[in-house]
Amino acid sequence: MSELRLSVAEERTIYHVADVDKALEDSAATKNEQLATLYEKMKQRGGGRYLVRPSGADMLDGLYDSCPNFGEVIDELKKYLALAVAGQEPMSFTPILLLGEPGIGKTHFARELARSLGTGHEFISMSSLTAGWILSGASSQWNNAKPGKVAQTLVHGEFANPIVVLDEIDKAGGDSRYDPMGALYSLLERDTARQFKDEYIDIDIDASHVLWVTTANDERAIPDPILNRMNVYQVPRPDRDAALQIAAALYREIVGEHDWGFAPEADEEVLECLANLPPRDMRKRLLAAFGNAKLDGRDALESRDFDVARSGRARKIGF
């Protein structure tokens, strides 16, 4: 895996403190203690956030090992990466949609991409959203109103260019009067995102540097104007070789994070057990297998450690 190298390019203003001062004088802020407190915190922090830029064209190469079925996506992102490195600029790419069946590792890839780039990361499950205000905030005049996820990420985070993952965007639903995707029409366009206005905070916020990654199982539920704002990638199910590669990378990652005494590399028997599982199930089954081995007093995994029955013993309940 290539060495991760990052440089801080500059501090970028995502909101102006003068605008916060003006908002504090507004009657809505004087009547809403929670909003006034947020404005004070925004003033204390200031509107500057870091824009990180990549310093090496090989920064995404590790994704080929951990997410081998995403090769086409990685190839495309490396083009943007090369331009950023050449111009000594922050990483920027057209919003992407990862399309494919459940369990193939779309969410895992998005998280690994954020880790590789070294910027902030916000994960939003669109299947749980029932109103557009979750992304863009609700008016402070409403009871229990609060900022949306985008403003929260930028105001409370450290970076002007975090990766925001919208998971299962095709499952967003709810009352059509409060379209969960409504805010995306402006957020996914760089020009309009420069003056994004969260309904709760009600001042201009520069969201134009946000890096958008969305996932879906079926694009038919996504409005065409949203699809047209993204590069769409059909992600295949991992083949046998790719599944073995994912399993090996996951094993190394988990063992490297803990001092459990297991070998740094998995043997063939372990990889074969994992390769039969969908990528999203590999981690939990591998963790259970590690636990089973330790219960048996071993520092090496065996195929029997992956037996589902060993990770929990069923008990009859009755009289």
Distance CA 245, CA 248 (A): 5
Cβ–Cβ < 8 Å for 238, 198: no
Looking at residue 264, its pLDDT comes to 94
Give the distance from CA 115 to its chain's centroid. Answer: 9
Give the distance from CA 173 to its chain's centroid. Answer: 20
Looking at residue 131, its pLDDT comes to 58
pLDDT tens-digit readout, 134-144: 888 877 777 77
pTM above 0.85, yes or no: no
Determine the average pLDDT of the residues in 165-194.
81
Looking at residue 153, its pLDDT comes to 94
Spatial neighbors of 141 by CB under 8 A, at least 6 apart, are 28
pLDDT tens-digit readout, 54-101: 888 899 999 998 899 999 999 999 999 999 999 988 989 999 999 988
Looking at residue 175, its pLDDT comes to 53
Distance CA 189, CA 182 (A): 13
Average pLDDT, the chain: 86
Looking at residue 57, its pLDDT comes to 85
pLDDT tens-digit readout, 7-33: 456 889 999 999 999 988 876 667 788
Is residue 277 predicted with pLDDT exceeding 60? Answer: yes
The half-sphere exposure of 277 on its side-chain side, counting CA atoms within 13 A, is: 19
Looking at residue 84, its pLDDT comes to 92
pLDDT tens-digit readout, 282-316: 889 999 999 999 999 999 999 999 986 454 444 44
Kind plus residue range of the DSSP H or E element containing 190: helix 190-193
Is residue 2 predicted with pLDDT exceeding 60? Answer: no
Looking at residue 132, its pLDDT comes to 60
What one-character DSSP code corresponds to residue 141? Answer: T
Determine the average pLDDT of the residues in 167-181.
71
Distance CA 71, CA 269 (A): 26
